[in-house]
């Protein structure tokens, strides 16, 4: 990997500490820092009064010592003077309450006043630092803390303008939204309001457009700042995406950044290393290119109900896992552990006395170990769509079902068999993959359905797929556009808690959903104990063009059993992550090699078998095998 670094906040320290910090950076191989993304009040202490002296001196010292700088625009933290002068910039939550000053991310992306001030401070940063810095980050964690959504009057007016562009006329909007239901017909654009604090269920078609609009608003806010930065700097520009985050269409946002960055934190109650791997893969898949982990959890964080202090060896594990999934670098949040502020309990690479921690020692060792950036081979493709996630959230048959959680179950199953995963989107080519999985895809655009019909390998599609159109209407016949290819039609469906059935000679259990399947031209390979088909198989065009349909939600173990029909297990063992790759990036050149990476996810020795060969891995050890 080419970037080893940390997030650093020189403004939090008297200048006398900076030299010591920089010496420790150099001693332990910290070659990159990100700074400046929360410094608005420091740089603009009063309206139109700018003072870059602190950041100037910090950048000068860092650069003189060979440390590269990613500069963040500070728009995530509007200063108190701006909020007092223009309180209308504050966002409004789903309960209709204004979210106040005193934290961060307290703005609406559709406030013209705020956008003007945000663009001004971004332009001042860009003009001032230009190409002096080595890369740029726009804002910080757009949408974090539920702030993708704001329901102020400025947001409402912007939404109406967005709708006018999308639909052109109220007649078309009323048709698309099905407003004849519950007497919601609009005769004037200004009648349209956000359905917040409603007595019961909102209009699902309007809600889908609200999700799209709010996502587009964040993306437009990012684009506006990027355009300003690029007027003054030729350096690459990024933004830090988030773990398990679905409120913004990251695929759409990713097309505007030069490279994807994301913040690798444990977001679940119980640490699940393959869930973190799934997030790495999703971030890589957004541009199908190497990515940067711009904030890596160091150990303890501050925002969980119970903030565990992971041993320093876990930072080694997490860094190796970043590498194995195609990261071009890792930056730990944060370098300097701080004694004050809302994040005072968050760990860092230094302790509260400014001394190097065991975490810093472990991270430094990884720098010497992981010298290249790898490109994992394309093997298994899993279809993913942010709008589908929104559809599942808006209206469901079983509200216990979670789209991303269930996709992670599939991801884990594929990885446990020793294969790579790449997430694919509706506009992606499928040519390089050997197996395609389409899980719970409520809407499948016709352009993608055509790619599925033409795919020359096996396809596994699940319940809920092809059930809706682009307006969030249920289609007449499902799976839309793929009935003939799969040889089945879904006649009806409903929620279940558990569903026992026989398939592949085994007793399996499904959950959440049960389809009533009309088998037209397929073989039943799984059936409930009352005789209803639940898994079917059709040989489509050639012997390798097998089409599986699953009419329920399989568990991870169920997926492992089904996938064995198409994927011969490469490994035997638990607590291991495998990645095969054929390309390494060294500098500006590519080196072709046939390699397999084995990462022990356990904090103790782990015996596994690879192609019948026993391998004993040390705790959190990464082993690279060359075929």
**Active site (catalytic) residues:** 141, 295
- Integer angstrom CA distances of residue 178 from 49, 61, 340, 394, 471: 51, 61, 53, 15, 9
End-to-end alpha-carbon separation of the chain, Å?
22
Dist. CA 236–CA 230, nearest whole Å: 9
Dist. CA 531–CA 524, nearest whole Å: 10
- Picking from 182, 160, 166, 184, the residue whose alpha carbon sits closest to that of residue 174 is 184
- Around 5, how many Cα atoms within 13 Å sit in the side-chain half-sphere? 22
Dist. CA 554–CA 383, nearest whole Å: 16
- Integer angstrom CA distances of residue 91 from 143, 221, 388: 12, 15, 26
- Picking from 241, 239, 247, 234, the residue whose alpha carbon sits closest to that of residue 223 is 239
Q: What is the CA radius of gyration of the chain?
A: 26
Dist. CA 428–CA 261, nearest whole Å: 21
CB atoms within 10 A of CB 212: 17
**How big is the CA angle at 239 (ends 387 and 74), to the nearest 5 degrees?**
125
For residue 420 the two structure tokens come to: 């790579």
Dist. CA 2–CA 372, nearest whole Å: 7
Backbone angles phi, psi at 496, to 5 degrees: -135, 160
Tokens 């009309």, located at residue: 518
| β-pair type (613-617, 546-550) | unpaired
Dist. CA 169–CA 164, nearest whole Å: 7
Peptide bond into 193 cis (omega under 30): no
- SS3 category, 249: coil
* Burial class, 66, CB count within 10 angstroms (exposed 0-12 / middle 13-18 / buried 19+): exposed
- Cβ-based neighbours of 318, under 8 Å, separated by 6 or more: 264, 276, 296, 297, 330
| β-pair type (546-550, 459-462) | parallel
- Around 370, how many Cα atoms within 13 Å sit in the side-chain half-sphere? 33
CB atoms within 10 A of CB 224: 15
- Picking from 248, 291, 61, 54, the residue whose alpha carbon sits closest to that of residue 139 is 248
- Helices 313-324/273-287 angle, 10° precision: 40
* Burial class, 157, CB count within 10 angstroms (exposed 0-12 / middle 13-18 / buried 19+): middle
Tokens 């608003």, located at residue: 217
Residues, the chain, total?
Answer: 627
For residue 65 the two structure tokens come to: 């010592």
CB atoms within 10 A of CB 599: 24
- Cβ-based neighbours of 140, under 8 Å, separated by 6 or more: 37, 38, 72, 76, 104, 240
CB atoms within 10 A of CB 388: 23
């Amino acid at each position: 990997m080419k970037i080893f670094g940390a997030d650093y906040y020189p403004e939090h320290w008297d200048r006398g500490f900076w030299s010591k910090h920089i010496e420790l950076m150099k001693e332990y191989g910290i070659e990159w820092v990100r700074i400046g993304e929360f410094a608005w009040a420091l740089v603009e202490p009063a309206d139109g009064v700018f003072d870059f002296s602190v950041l100037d001196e910090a950048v000068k010292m860092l650069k003189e010592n060979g440390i590269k700088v990613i500069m963040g625009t500070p728009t995530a933290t509007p200063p108190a003077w701006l909020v007092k002068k223009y309180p209308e910039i504050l966002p409004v939550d789903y309960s209709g309450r204004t979210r106040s000053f005193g934290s961060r991310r307290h703005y609406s992306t559709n406030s013209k006043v705020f956008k003007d001030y945000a663009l001004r401070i971004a332009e001042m940063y860009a003009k001032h630092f230009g190409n002096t810095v080595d890369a740029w980050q726009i804002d910080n964690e757009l949408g974090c803390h539920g702030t993708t959504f704001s329901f102020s009057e400025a947001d409402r007016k912007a939404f109406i303008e967005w709708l006018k562009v999308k639909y052109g006329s109220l007649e078309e909007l009323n048709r698309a939204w099905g407003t004849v239901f519950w007497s919601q017909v609009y005769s004037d654009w200004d009648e349209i309001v956000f359905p917040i604090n409603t007595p019961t269920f909102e209009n699902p078609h309007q809600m889908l457009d609200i999700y799209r609009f709010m996502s587009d608003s964040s993306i437009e806010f990012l684009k506006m700042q990027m355009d300003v930065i690029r007027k003054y700097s030729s350096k690459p520009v990024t933004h830090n995406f988030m773990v398990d985050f679905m409120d913004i269409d990251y695929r759409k946002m990713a097309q505007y950044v030069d490279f994807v960055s994301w913040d690798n934190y444990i977001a679940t109650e119980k640490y699940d290393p393959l869930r973190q791997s799934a997030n790495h893969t999703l971030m890589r898949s957004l541009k199908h290119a190497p990515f940067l982990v711009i904030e890596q959890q160091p150990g303890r964080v501050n925002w969980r109900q119970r903030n565990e202090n992971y041993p320093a060896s876990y930072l080694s594990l997490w860094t190796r896992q970043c590498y194995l999934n195609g990261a071009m670098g890792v930056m730990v949040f944060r370098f300097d552990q701080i004694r004050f502020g809302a994040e005072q309990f968050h760990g860092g690479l230094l302790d509260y006395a400014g001394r190097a921690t065991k975490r810093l020692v472990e991270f430094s060792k990884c720098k010497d170990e992981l010298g290249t950036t790898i490109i994992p081979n394309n093997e298994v493709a899993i279809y993913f769509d942010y709008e589908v996630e929104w559809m599942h959230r808006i209206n469901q048959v079983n509200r216990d079902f979670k789209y991303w959680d269930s996709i992670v179950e599939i991801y884990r199953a594929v990885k446990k068999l020793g294969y790579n995963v790449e997430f694919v989107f509706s506009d992606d080519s499928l040519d390089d993959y050997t197996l395609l999985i389409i899980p719970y895809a409520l809407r499948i655009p016709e352009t993608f359905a055509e790619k599925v019909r033409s795919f020359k390998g096996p396809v596994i599609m699940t319940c809920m797929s092809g059930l809706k159109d682009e307006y969030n209407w249920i289609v007449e016949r499902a799976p839309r556009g793929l009935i003939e290819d799969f040889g089945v039609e879904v006649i009806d469906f409903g929620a279940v808690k558990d569903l026992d059935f026989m398939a592949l000679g085994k007793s399996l259990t499904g959950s959440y959903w049960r389809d009533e399947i009309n088998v037209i031209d397929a073989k039943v390979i799984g059936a409930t104990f009352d005789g209803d088909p639940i898994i079917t198989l059709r040989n489509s065009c050639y012997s390798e063009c097998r089409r599986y349909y699953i009419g329920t939600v399989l568990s991870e173990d169920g997926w492992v059993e089904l996938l064995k029909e198409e994927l011969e297990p490469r490994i035997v063992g638990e607590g291991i992550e495998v990645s095969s790759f054929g390309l390494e990036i060294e500098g500006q050149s590519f080196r072709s090699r046939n390699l397999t990476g084995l990462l022990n996810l356990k904090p103790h020795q782990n015996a596994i078998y690879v192609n019948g060969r026993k391998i004993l891995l040390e705790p959190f050890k990464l082993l690279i095998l060359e075929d």
